[in-house]
């Protein structure tokens, strides 16, 4: 999380391509109903010979990588550990929330530090839920579904307790300034761990809406496993969405201290994202209306650059904002592909616009497409900014494999990009190129996934991993391990580090958090991507 300090990254011209995406989407938004419906018919008139069975043959390298990546969530757990898989981890944060008479002991530390940040933690839960909903059978085929569900529930248990009443949500445990003055194992924390909340007087629409999305998506995951728990999650999701929408205001303004870590440029995308998930969870068309008719002009960003104002924005929040915006386009395009009962003309037109915007994004990702983004390294890795560069490549690859599977399942054979045609297999090949780079097919010939292969980072920027279990260190003297030239004594297995420079070099140095720090939300994107690639598959047409 040190990688997210304010002012450590200025505007990036690489995002001009994404601005082009939205401008082009704005052109689409001005098209007539007839053009949109004609386009839809054109896109669906050709059918491939069939849809593969679920799941297909397992790809061994991706199965192994998924098994490893999943373990990082265990590395990051707070609370009283159950069935602990990480030998060097123990109970921690057991008194979290005690200042508010709450049990906030669970949840996960977001990165290499020991703070629980609600915004990225909720995003982690939403992505994990989405991965399970789309690719749970493939996770099951390689014996990872149970671990994914357990990790998700560890987060949602925390989020439930962090929402003690309809209009109150605790969004942080721990003081980042105090935390950064210490370097110690979570089991040996000594500093105070205060809590922060949003409420009607100090609203935080984006974090409340993202938490609503996490609860709604998780309610679908647990619907058949634990119906009462699923119903409780859905209740929290609906309350949080109402709170977020009724008391609109950015948490970055309500609680200025968050600006240095997980700042936010706005909350419109999270509201639409949450509404989309609530529609999937409930089937209530009022949520679909919210995203496609009532608020689309204000929040949908068609033809607007409002979501790409990066003043005072740092890498972590940039990634969250842009990923949520684009993930929302893909999530809503799912309804366009597979349909839903009772969709009005207005909703259908809006869904086609979301779908077209998602297609423009896909065309930009395909390396030989006419509108292909130039935001890549020489060897083809999607690369946008220095801080945690792999977040963008993993998010892009996950979207590509998922969108390709939407095409495959709906028997939509062709994606047109400025007159050239592409197939779901082309999107899958792009996704594979990104994860293969991470797993070792890169100029450094190293894996950026800790524990995968024979050559991976040894000095991960991570407190618990860097300090020996039997070390008797306090707050200050633990810094000797931050600056030590030795490899980490404890393996942070499954950690996806920040990634290489634009010139594709990597410096394995613990104090360089820009390159060497992992995070739960980036790992969630990697897990989602690997789950989609572990075998060839169609996707379910409905989450219910």
3-state SS string over 404-437? HHHHHHCCCCCEEECCEEECHHHHHHHHHHHHHH
C-alpha–C-alpha distance, residues 510 and 529, integer Å:
27
What's the DSSP call for residue 171? E
Say which residue the tokens 């996960």 belong to. 108
Cα first-last separation, the chain? 36
- Contact between residue 518 and residue 486 where contact means Cβ atoms under 8 Å apart: no
Q: Kindly report the CA angle at 302 between 300 and 304, in degrees rounded to 5?
A: 100
Predicted confidence (pLDDT) at residue 311 exceeds the cutoff of 60: no
Based on the number of CB atoms within 10 Å of its own CB, is 316 exposed (0-12), middle (13-18) or buried (19 or more)? buried
Residue from 417, 409, 292, 337 nearest 24 by CA? 417
Mean pLDDT of the residues in the chain = 84
Which helix (H) or strand (E) segment is 514 a member of? helix 513-516
In this prediction, residue 456 has a pLDDT band, given cuts at 50, 70 and 90, of: very high
Q: Which comes out higher in pLDDT, residue 294 or 536? A: 536
Predicted confidence (pLDDT) at residue 444 exceeds the cutoff of 90: yes
Level-2 CATH architecture, domain 54-534: Alpha/alpha barrel (1.50)
In this prediction, residue 28 has a pLDDT band, given cuts at 50, 70 and 90, of: very low
Segment 197-212, tens digit of pLDDT: 999 999 999 999 999 9
Per-residue pLDDT averaged across 267-283, rounded?
Answer: 91
In this prediction, residue 455 has a pLDDT band, given cuts at 50, 70 and 90, of: very high
Predicted confidence (pLDDT) at residue 171 exceeds the cutoff of 70: yes
C-alpha–C-alpha distance, residues 231 and 211, integer Å:
15
Residue ranges of the domains in the chain? 54-534
Predicted confidence (pLDDT) at residue 306 exceeds the cutoff of 70: no
Segment 76-119, tens digit of pLDDT: 999 999 999 999 999 999 999 999 999 999 999 999 999 999 99
pLDDT at position 54 is 59
Say which residue the tokens 């608020």 belong to. 295
% of the chain beyond a pLDDT of 70: 81
pLDDT at position 316 is 25
Least confident piece of the model among 38-52, 198-212, 256-270, 511-525: 38-52
- Contact between residue 107 and residue 154 where contact means Cβ atoms under 8 Å apart: yes
Per-residue pLDDT averaged across 234-263, rounded?
Answer: 94
Backbone angles phi, psi at 170, to 5 degrees: -85, 125
Catalytic residues: 461
pLDDT at position 293 is 73
C-alpha–C-alpha distance, residues 434 and 398, integer Å:
10
Predicted confidence (pLDDT) at residue 315 exceeds the cutoff of 70: no
Prediction pTM value:
0.88
Segment 54-84, tens digit of pLDDT: 567 999 999 999 999 999 999 999 999 999 9
pLDDT at position 156 is 98
């Amino acid at each position: 999380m040190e990688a997210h300090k304010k002012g450590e990254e200025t505007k990036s011209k690489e995002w001009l391509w994404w601005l082009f995406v939205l401008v082009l989407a704005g052109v689409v938004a001005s098209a007539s109903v007839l053009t949109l419906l004609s386009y839809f018919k054109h896109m669906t008139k050709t059918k491939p010979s069939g849809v593969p069975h679920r799941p297909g043959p397992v790809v061994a390298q991706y199965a192994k990588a998924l098994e490893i990546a999943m373990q990082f969530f265990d590395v990051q757990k707070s609370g009283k550990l159950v069935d602990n898989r990480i030998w060097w981890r123990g109970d921690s944060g057991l008194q979290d929330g005690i200042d508010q008479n709450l049990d906030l002991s669970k949840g996960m530390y977001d990165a290499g530090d020991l703070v629980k940040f609600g915004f990225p933690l909720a995003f982690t839960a939403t992505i994990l839920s989405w991965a399970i909903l789309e690719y749970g059978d493939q996770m099951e085929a390689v014996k990872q579904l149970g671990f994914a569900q357990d990790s998700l529930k560890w987060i949602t248990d925390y989020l439930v307790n962090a929402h003690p009443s309809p209009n109150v949500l605790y969004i942080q445990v721990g003081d980042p300034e105090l935390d950064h003055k210490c370097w110690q194992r979570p089991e040996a924390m000594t500093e105070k761990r205060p809590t922060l909340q949003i409420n009607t007087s100090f609203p935080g629409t984006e974090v409340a809406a993202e938490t609503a999305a996490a609860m709604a998506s998780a309610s679908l995951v647990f619907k058949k496993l634990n119906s009462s728990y699923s119903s409780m999650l859905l209740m929290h999701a609906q309350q949080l969405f109402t709170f977020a929408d009724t008391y609109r205001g950015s948490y970055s303004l309500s609680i200025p201290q968050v600006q240095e870590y997980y700042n936010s440029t706005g909350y419109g995308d999270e509201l639409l994202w949450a509404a989309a998930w609530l529609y999937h969870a409930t089937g209530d068309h009022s949520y679909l209306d919210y995203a496609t008719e009532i608020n689309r002009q204000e929040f949908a960003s068609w033809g607007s650059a409002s979501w790409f104002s990066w003043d005072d924005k740092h890498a972590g929040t940039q990634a969250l904002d842009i990923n949520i915006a684009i993930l929302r386009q893909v999530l809503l395009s799912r309804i366009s592909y597979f349909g839903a009962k009772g969709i009005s003309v207005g909703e259908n037109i809006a869904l086609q616009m979301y779908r077209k915007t998602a297609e423009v994004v896909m065309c930009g990702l395909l390396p030989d497409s006419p509108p292909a983004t130039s935001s890549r390294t020489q060897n083809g890795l999607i690369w946008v900014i220095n801080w945690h560069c792999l977040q963008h490549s993993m998010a892009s690859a996950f979207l590509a494999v998922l969108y390709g599977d939407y095409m495959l399942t709906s028997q939509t054979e062709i994606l047109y990009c400025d007159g050239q045609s592409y197939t779901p297999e082309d999107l899958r090949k792009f996704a594979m190129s990104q994860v293969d780079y991470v797993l070792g097919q890169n100029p450094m010939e190293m894996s950026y996934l800790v524990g995968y292969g024979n050559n991976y980072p040894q000095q991960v920027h991570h407190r618990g991993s860097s300090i020996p279990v039997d070390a008797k260190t306090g707050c200050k003297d633990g810094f000797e391990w931050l600056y030590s030239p030795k490899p980490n004594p404890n393996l942070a297995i499954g950690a996806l580090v920040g990634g290489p420079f634009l010139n594709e070099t990597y410096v394995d140095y613990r104090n360089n958090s820009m390159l060497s720090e992992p995070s739960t939300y980036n790992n969630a994107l990697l897990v989602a991507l690997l789950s989609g690639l572990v075998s060839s598959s169609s996707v379910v047409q409905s989450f219910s």
